[in-house]
């Protein structure tokens, strides 16, 4: 069980995080995150599981385009051309987190947890997952206009599933 986040997380999310971290520990693999719309919630979850949080190497909260560029090495021109909420940027975020850390697996999340600018789709989220020696994977989710909190919880579910797949 998580200690800090338990009151707000569904049981299956907590259990998924615990199982993921145990599997990472068993395989001696470390994890990193690069988060935009979740604002570090995934990193918080992965460091909140007592006895297994050492599998988490580091997290990057890169809410702005400048942060994505400065911390993860993504050219601003690419972000502006592709849009920060896009498959290419999600993939680049995961790959950048892998390069900027000592982790074996990195998960990125970028999207609109709530209403974005006019024309932006609320609940549109792109995920990237990079693992050393493997191709980077991507997932695009459409959670809908359900609110910031529910979108972030759904992001945790998707992120945990992608990380679990990367450890297989």
Sign of CA dihedral 108, 88, 97, 52: positive
Q: 155 to each of 98, 100, 102, how far by Cα in Å?
A: 20, 23, 24
Cβ atoms of residues 124 and 9 within 8 Å: no
Give the lowest-confidence range in 64-78, 112-126, 132-146: 112-126
Q: What is the pLDDT of residues 40-84, one digit of tens each?
A: 999 999 998 888 878 999 999 999 999 999 999 999 999 999 999
Cα torsion at 156, 161, 166, 168 (round to 10°)? 140
Q: Residue 4 has what pLDDT?
A: 60
- Position 139 pLDDT exceeds 70: yes
């Amino acid at each position: 069980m998580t200690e800090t986040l338990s009151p707000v997380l569904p049981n299956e999310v907590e259990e998924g995080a615990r199982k993921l971290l145990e599997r990472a520990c068993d395989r001696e693999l470390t994890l990193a995150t690069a988060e935009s719309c979740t604002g570090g919630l995934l990193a918080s979850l992965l460091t909140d599981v007592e006895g297994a949080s050492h599998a988490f190497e580091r997290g990057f909260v890169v809410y702005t385009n400048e942060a994505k560029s400065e911390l993860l090495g993504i050219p601003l021109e690419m972000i502006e051309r592709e849009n920060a909420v896009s498959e290419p940027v999600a993939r680049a975020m995961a790959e950048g987190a892998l390069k900027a850390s000592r982790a074996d697996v990195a998960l990125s999340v970028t999207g609109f947890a709530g209403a974005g600018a006019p024309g932006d789709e609320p609940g549109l989220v792109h995920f990237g997952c990079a693992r050393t020696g493997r191709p980077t994977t991507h997932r695009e989710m459409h959670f809908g206009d359900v609110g910031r909190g529910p979108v972030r919880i759904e992001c945790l579910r998707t992120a945990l599933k992608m990380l679990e797949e990367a450890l297989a």
